[in-house]
Structure 1
């Protein structure tokens, strides 16, 4: 009887832990909690023709470069005592179209590309690469070129489409934040916004995020080569990108190889080998998005995904506090933010297709409480106290309800 009680308690605890993970700043590898691990296992279960020991490389020039992971297929590897040999060998034995995934020349990685290029065509380069090598995983990094080519909204839409395409096929994407832009101050100023969009997408889909940018900012020249846009690499005299000791980790490619290998090691152990989640479940998000129990913004940066098609709340229609005349009579969700200090925020909402979800900052959960609104992005300087966000569905010729991804960061 005591054993049954213990088993029941353990089962209840497991159920309580299975809620989406928050992806906080301050760590390079996003949490692999019990919920995330179960999510990744479910993705991999969608396709039994994919290979656990193969990953695809998806990106632009910093992914095409032979300094990115190629060296793990050779002998010049110094792990500096880290217990990663098993993962190096595991993927070295994978068959990626007749070669190892480390040295594979990916059809979904080309110099100069932005994320949308991987999705162009029928079949797209992404689809061609997946069918050619049948990977269980995909290491993805776009954004450096996107800053100069597309808007932030287009980037977010492309990355959502790319992520969803991989997930639908049973491939787990490992999304990687982009590097600083040492070549262009204006472009560099946009890097935090693009990385915040990527963080929000990773959290929305509960897939791994590798915060490469975090590891670079304190390195000499931010881990960038002389051109200010590509990573640097240890040379002695040739490239030694898999030397992962303190000397090597002063260089950008060496760091990317380490954090990528660590991410692959974490998913291999948790998902393939069944070792379980390496990270504990944090607290669940409080609230339900209603006017009486708004979701609580409990950290910054903050991200959340929801779908107004499933909202029963239609209390807010015309935000006259903002002198707004837009018809927001569609369903909405509310969030609450408690500030103990004056804070400058940048708030984004990303949606796709015909979906149109608008942002409203409120000092009370009423139409008259609106102090600021925007279609997709706004900057708000908020004082100490309680604030609300309303994510509301615009109504034109019809209600344009649907999925959105909310992202909030300090600026």
Structure 2
């Protein structure tokens, strides 16, 4: 695997952890201190990539494992009497009995307490109110993207009931809200927004395709109408989930890509559509470009004060960064589409499962603002 951006990950390392005591179910008993042989890794205050960095482990740092996160992707450790924190489990080679480790952090319950930052929430509400004045439909969202968006594993199981929320049961209200309204019209798809085929997403698409009339559906789009303009006119959504750029990595500069993305965000806001913009999953062979593109996405989200869907950060601790063997697309769970929205702990390491989960989490954050729902 090529080098990765320090913004999203720590330096990979090989290590050995030995579990010498049994972890009790109700009150975790710490394991004996173990030692890293090589490498460096950040220890965070909570099990997520946004949490404060407590310290960085140097080679041969002894630590004690006292538990795990509910998702099973982070280890709760202590370094000494004064320092404790969390490390991503996939950064460590270990022989721990993970099933025996006590859950010391319920990620579902803690994410349920998150909200959009005030500056973003205020802008989201203004965009929504503008959209309502322009006739945009509550409960409807557009999907903007490429093959990762149109894949049957993405969104489909959320729309047709093939999902298991488990620890993320708090997402049910947002899922219901965005599932009720038929997204199509009298002559086209009558399914909800999760199932509705997008007019602004396609296999192999780049950000430039959204500006190109040749990519528009000739049956549903007006002459000289681009895919993005057509999608918003036909669907009249209140929200757009946007992830485009994986195919740009091979030919587009980061500046050129950001210019295209800025245009997409600006047009969305003008139309009263709340854009939720996603970072890109890693792509083998394009480590440097990938890092620059995600920096551009983060900068654009901040510049336009819109929600950032940090999919890349969610994939960061997963095996092979949540990618399939092709090094481009997210990995598919053993049950395929049937399991792509199954949020059991054992299923979360798969890229499409994590994308469905984080998409639903973003919709929940937006829903709490536009429906004015308290925590």
Q: CA deviation at 1:110?
A: 0.6
Give the number of the structure whose residues are more often strand, by fraction: 1
Say if 2:150 and 2:203, in contact at 8 Å, map to a contact too: yes
Shift of 1:237: 6.3
**8 Å Cα contact 1:177-1:211 kept in structure 2:** yes
Structure 1 runs, 4 residues or longer, greater than 6 Å off = 27-31
Residue 370 of structure 1 is matched in structure 2 by: none
Aligned twin of 2:160: 74
Q: Is the 1:114–1:149 contact (alpha carbons within 8 Å) kept by the matching residues of 2?
A: no
Indicate the residue corresponding to 2:309 in structure 1: 210
Distance in 2, Cα, partners of 1:26 & 1:192: 17
Superposed counterparts of 1:166-177, under 5 Å: 166-177=268-279
Q: For residue 34 of structure 1, report the CA deviation from its aligned partner.
A: 2.5
1:190 lines up with 2:190 in the alignment? no
Alignment deviations for residues 96-118 of structure 1 (CA, whole Å, 9 cap, x no partner): 11221111110100111111211
1:95, 1:133 within 8 Å by CA — same for their partners in 2?
A: no
1:34 maps to which of 89, 93, 118: 118
Question: Counterpart in 2 of 1:115?
Answer: 207
- Look up the match of 2:358: 259
Matched position secondary structure for 2:331: coil
Deviation for aligned residue 1:38: 1.6
Q: How far, CA to CA, are the matches of 2:128 and 2:337 in structure 1?
A: 38
CA drift at 1:149 = 2.3
Q: Could you give the per-residue CA deviations for residues 337-394 of structure 1, whole angstroms, max 9, x where no partner exists?
A: xxxxxxxxxxxxxxxxxxxxxxxxxxxxxxxxxxxxxxxxxxxxxxxxxxxxxxxxxx
Q: How does 1:290-369 map to 2 (within 5 A)?
A: none
Give the match for residue 163 of structure 1: 265
Residue 177 to residue 146, structure 1, CA distance change in 2 (3 Å): same
TM-superposed deviation, 1:232: 0.8
Please say if residues 43 and 167 of structure 1, whose CA atoms lie closer than 8 Å, have aligned partners that are also in contact: yes
Find the counterpart in structure 1 of residue 244 from structure 2. 142
> What is the 5 A alignment of 1:239-254?
239-254=338-353
Alignment of 1:57-96 (within 5 A): 57-82=143-168, 83-96=170-183
| Of 178, 200, 207, the match for 2:280 | 178
Deviation at 1:124, TM superposition (A): 1.0
1:273 CA displacement: 2.7
- Counterpart secondary structure, 1:270: helix
Equivalent position SS for 1:42: helix
TM-score, normalised via structure 2 length:
0.63
Separation of aligned partners in 2, 1:61 and 1:155: 18
In structure 1, what is the Cα distance between the partners aligned to 2:338 and 2:320?
A: 18
Structure 1 residues 236, 31: CA separation in 2 closer, same or farther (over 3 Å shift)?
A: closer
Structure 1 gap ranges (5+): 1-23, 279-411
**2:37 alignment partner in structure 1:** none
Q: How many residues align?
A: 250
* Partner Cα distance (1:31, 1:143) in 2: 27
Structure 1 residue 33 displacement after superposition: 2.4
Query: Computing the radius of gyration over CA atoms, which structure comes out larger, 1 or 2?
Result: 1
In structure 2, distance between residues paired with 1:158 and 1:248: 35
- Contact 1:233/1:239, CA 8 A, preserved across alignment: no
In the alignment, the residues of structure 2 paired with residue 40 and residue 190 of structure 1 have an alpha-carbon distance, to the nearest angstrom, of 30
User: Do structure 1's residue 46 and structure 2's residue 130 form an aligned pair?
Assistant: yes
C-alpha distance in 1 between matches for 2:229 and 2:235: 10
